[in-house]
Amino acid sequence: MVALVLFVLFLLCNSHGLVSSLNGEGYALLSFKQSITQDPEGSLSNWNSSDENPCTWNGVTCKELRVVSLSIPKKKLVGFLPSSLGSIYGLRHLNLRNNKLYGSLPVELFQAQGLQSLVLYGNSLSGSVSNEIGKLTYLQTLDLSQNFLNGSVPGSIVQCKRLRTLDISQNNFTGSLPDGFGTAFVSLEKLDLSFNKFSGSIPGDIGNLSSLQGTVDLSHNLFSGPIPASLGNLPEKVYIDLTYNNLSGPIPQTGALMNRGPTAFIGNPGLCGPPLKNPCSSETPGPGSPSSFPFIPDNSPPQDSNPGRSEKAKGLSKSAVIAIIVSDIIGICLVGLLFSYCYSRICSCRGRKDEHRFEKGGKGRKECLCFRKDESETLSENVEQYDLVPLDTQVAFDLDELLKASAFVLGKSGIGIVYKVVLEEGLTLAVRRLGEGGSQRFKEFQTEVEAIGKLRHPNIVTLRAYYWSVDEKLLIYDYVPNGNLSTALHGKPGMVSFTPLSWSVRLKIMKGIARGLVYLHEFSPKKYVHGDLKPNNILLGQNMEPQISDFGLGRLANIAGGSPTLQSSRLVPEKPQERQQKSAPSDATTVASSTTNLGSCYIAPEALKVVKPSQKWDVYSYGVILLEMISGRLPLVQVGSSEMDLVHWIQLCIEEKKPLSEVLDPYLVQDADKDDEIIAVIKIALACIQTSPEKRPTMKHVSEALDRLVISDA
């Protein structure tokens, strides 16, 4: 209100005639124009105080000379929302989506109690939402997504009973959902609460939202406790996304929750039961359940005391049952002694007198598995692992199938060799050999690899299984068909044809990488750091969707030990004619080895001094990748007779005020109309490569900024 008063006084001092020519709603809108510091497209250029009313102004709609709508979306307006907008009491629709508005939502805005739609998504608004929002009883659409709003959702929102769309995703909201959330919005058709920090249990009354359509998105939050069975009461066509929360317990098999695949529930380690392969503990008899010990009359319910019943009808006597049990135990002991004797005859201990080992034959070789007599014989703790260990319930192949499969080298590095393996039934996998040494650290390796195996995200390569033995360590991944980002950007030696990536595809890849890193940093169990991000380990899927690979690989290789050889003794090589037909992978190997020395260009400056990895390392690496995707240049740029790293080259171009065309990848000339988007990405990249890690944004903020750039023709 202060801004409005000052503005009016200014007009009074300069031109008394203006006051009489423009109505109060016009002045309120001019106050909004005053709050805008940048209007690059001139969207407010015809907003003049000399007009009688604002009804002819851009973005303004009137009814009977009263302002009912203000709609200026996607015009790159920079500024804040003034409180004066709340004084336009006839305002029904406010749409300022996809601009660059910052600051908080003014409390006075909710004085416009006739508002039916409030659409502000894709800005940089922050702060909390006032409890005054409950005054908007006519509100039907509320979209505040893709901002930086925080705090809890005000309880008064349940008074907005006419809501049809509620989208507050991709903010920083916390706390529980308000009481009565499910019973208030009987007309609600769209609900998206994803990518926030909501906690507590999912309200059971959400099942009352019978008008919902499409996807009910509660994913990427901190909801805990069981899934309320009442969610099954939602319309059966509704898809309920509960991924990446802290939910636990059995998945109710009712209504809309039935016949759903596991993808709706992943990222909740505590969930069990169908459609997940993880059975609930109650489905398996525990050690204290009646079925786990023999039936003895003393343990049964009180017997019928009718003296007319014969002793025979009561079953075996207690002494008879005990005798049977004792004889069984003696028999088992004898079998065990015989078993132990046979094994001691077959294998002698490998180096310690307190160990025994036994042979396992296979493919013309002998392998001995060791365990200590004075410790419990637990395979995962004391026995060398000689079988394929699945990390996913969907794994449908075994070790023998893997070893019999055709395989050829995709790439070699200091960390190991990567093979493309095609199983007999056509399933294609990527298998990495880590080395031949390091036989003493199986438990450490197991803990690390199983933690990595739990990561599930569309932009992270999935680790499906692993194999450990003294002379071999294998990691089995999904095969990603379109090579890596480095090859897609720069090609490779011997490539017959090279199709450059369009800007829309590059932007899609940028967004996907960012989302994968956000998952690692924010939503993975340990808030991981990748630590070695570069185009070589960003793979491209069937539709050019990016998948980050090699996560945790350095640590696994360190645990596994040894140095991999160039030929695998386990994986059956292809026939010579097949190898000739598929000579391209060897070219990829050449590229990988020739660009190894470029890897240091992606490393954050502080990583050379600080031992403990930081998520800001990944942010720096990501910034370099963005610059590489925009410029089309390798991370080492040839400048005259010397080389300069890409970061310093870009900074030099900015200092010398070179035109964008000299920085841009020549293949992007055809996308000249995307200059604004390209410049926006360059700004994001420059923020990521700040020398000081404290000045770099988080990947969550980077991802949110990129998501505001709409992919039009990807």
Secondary structure letter of residue 484 according to DSSP: B
Q: What mean pLDDT is reported for the chain?
A: 76
What would the two tokens of residue 125 be?
């608004």
The answer on pLDDT for 510 being more than 90 is yes
pLDDT value at position 246? 93
Average pLDDT estimate for 240-262: 83
* Separation of alpha carbons 353 and 369, rounded Å: 15
Per-residue exposure over 209-238, b if at least 16 CB sit within 10 Å of its own CB, e if not: beebeebbbbbbbbbeebbbbbbbbbeeeb
C-alpha radius of gyration, the chain, whole number: 33
Judge whether residue 149 has pLDDT over 70: yes
Q: Is pLDDT at 714 greater than 70 in this prediction? A: no
Q: What is the pLDDT of residue 330?
A: 64
User: Can you give the pTM of this predicted structure?
Assistant: 0.46
Identify the three-state secondary structure at position 600. helix
- Residue-level pLDDT at 329: 66
> With 60 as the cut, is the pLDDT of residue 452 above it?
yes
The pLDDT assigned to 133 comes to: 94
Q: What is the pLDDT of residue 580?
A: 35
Is the confidence at residue 173, as pLDDT, over 90? yes
pLDDT band, very low/low/confident/very high, at 545 (cuts 50, 70, 90): very high
Residue 534 lies in a domain: no
In a domain, 228, yes or no: yes
Please tell me the distance from the alpha carbon of residue 571 to that of residue 472, in angstroms, as a whole number: 11
pLDDT in tens, 620-675: 999 999 999 999 998 888 887 788 889 999 988 888 888 888 889 988 877 767 88
Residue among 228, 263, 275, 267 at smallest CA distance from 245? 267
Would you place residue 148 in the very low, low, confident or very high pLDDT band (cuts 50, 70, 90)? very high
Work out the pLDDT band at 298, boundaries 50, 70, 90: very low
Average pLDDT, integer, range 565-583: 36
Rounded to whole angstroms, the Cα distance separating 75 from 56 reads: 18
Where is mean pLDDT largest: 44-58, 432-446, 554-568? 44-58
Domain span holding position 247: 61-272
Q: Is residue 265 part of a domain?
A: yes
* Phi and psi torsions of 139, nearest 5°: -65, 130
3-state secondary structure (DSSP) of residue 172: strand
**pLDDT score at 713:** 44
Q: Per-residue pLDDT for 487 more than 70? A: yes
Q: Residue range 558-578: average pLDDT?
A: 43
Is residue 244, in this structure, part of any structural domain at all?
yes
Query: Is the per-residue pLDDT at 196 higher than 90?
Result: yes
Res 428: pLDDT: 86
Q: 235 pLDDT band (50/70/90 cuts)?
A: confident
Distance CA 535, CA 624 (A): 10
Asked if residues 503 and 669 have their Cβ atoms less than 8 Å apart, the reply is no
Kind plus residue range of the DSSP H or E element containing 450: helix 442-453
Whether the pLDDT of residue 427 is over 60: the answer is: yes
Is 127 among the domain residues?
yes
Residue 271's H or E segment, with its range, is strand 270-272
Average the pLDDT over 449-470 and give the result: 85
Q: What is the pLDDT of residues 677-695, one digit of tens each?
A: 888 899 899 989 998 888 8
- Amino acid 313: pLDDT: 39
More confident position, 604 or 378: 604
* pLDDT over 70, % of the chain: 73
Residue 93 has pLDDT above 90, yes or no: yes
CATH of the domain at 114: 3.80.10.10
| Residue-level pLDDT at 47 | 92
CB 212 within 8 A of CB 240: no
CA atoms within 13 A on the CB side of 508: 15
Residue 517: CB atoms within 10 Å = 28
Burial class (CB in 10 A: 0-12, 13-18, 19+), 440: exposed
Distance, in Å, from the CA atom of 89 to the CA atom of 553, rounded to the nearest integer, reads: 60
HEC assignment per residue over 293-355: CCCCHHHCCCCCCCCCCCHHHHCCCHHHHHHHHHHHHHHHHHHHHHHHHHHHHHCCCCCCCCE
**Which one of the listed residues 167, 192, 532, 665 is annotated catalytic?**
532
Read off the pLDDT of residues 198-214 as tens digits, 9 standing for 90 and up: 999 999 888 889 899 88
Give the model's pLDDT for residue 711.
55
What is the per-residue pLDDT for 466? 85
What is the average per-residue pLDDT within 523-528?
82
Terminal CA-to-CA distance of the chain, rounded, Å?
Answer: 45
- Sheet containing strand 572-573, edge to edge, reads 389-390, 463-469, 472-478, 428-435, 416-422, 406-413, 572-573
269 — pLDDT class (breaks 50, 70, 90): confident
The reported pLDDT for the residue numbered 200 is 93
State the pLDDT at residue 449.
82
pLDDT greater than 50 at residue 290: no
Identify whether 532 is a catalytic site residue: yes
Range with the largest mean pLDDT of 384-398, 527-541, 548-562: 527-541
- Per the domain annotation, does 365 fall within a domain? no
More confident residue, 349 or 150: 150
The structure tokens listed for 472 are: 């071999």
Q: Is residue 161 part of a domain?
A: yes
pLDDT band at 106 (very low <50, low <70, confident <90, very high): very high
Residue 168 in contact with residue 192, Cβ under 8 Å? Answer: yes
pLDDT at 348: 37
Predicted confidence at residue 379, as pLDDT, reads 27
Residue 205 in contact with residue 181, Cβ under 8 Å? Answer: yes
More confident residue, 300 or 165: 165
Q: What is the pLDDT of residue 70?
A: 93
Between 675-688 and 646-655, two packed helices, what is the crossing angle to 10 degrees?
120
Whether 314 is in a domain gets the answer: no
Looking at the chain, the whole-number percentage of residues with pLDDT higher than 90 is 35
What whole-number distance in Å separates Cα of residue 446 and Cα of residue 468? 9
The pLDDT, as a whole number, for residue 661 is 84
Residue 20 has pLDDT above 50, yes or no: no
Q: Choose between 32 and 576: higher pLDDT.
A: 32
The C-alpha atoms of residue 705 and residue 714 are separated, in whole angstroms, by: 18
pLDDT reported for residue 702: 92
The per-residue pLDDT for 259 is 65
Residue 460 gets which letter from DSSP?
B
Number of structural domains in the chain = 1
Is 162's pLDDT higher than 90?
Answer: yes
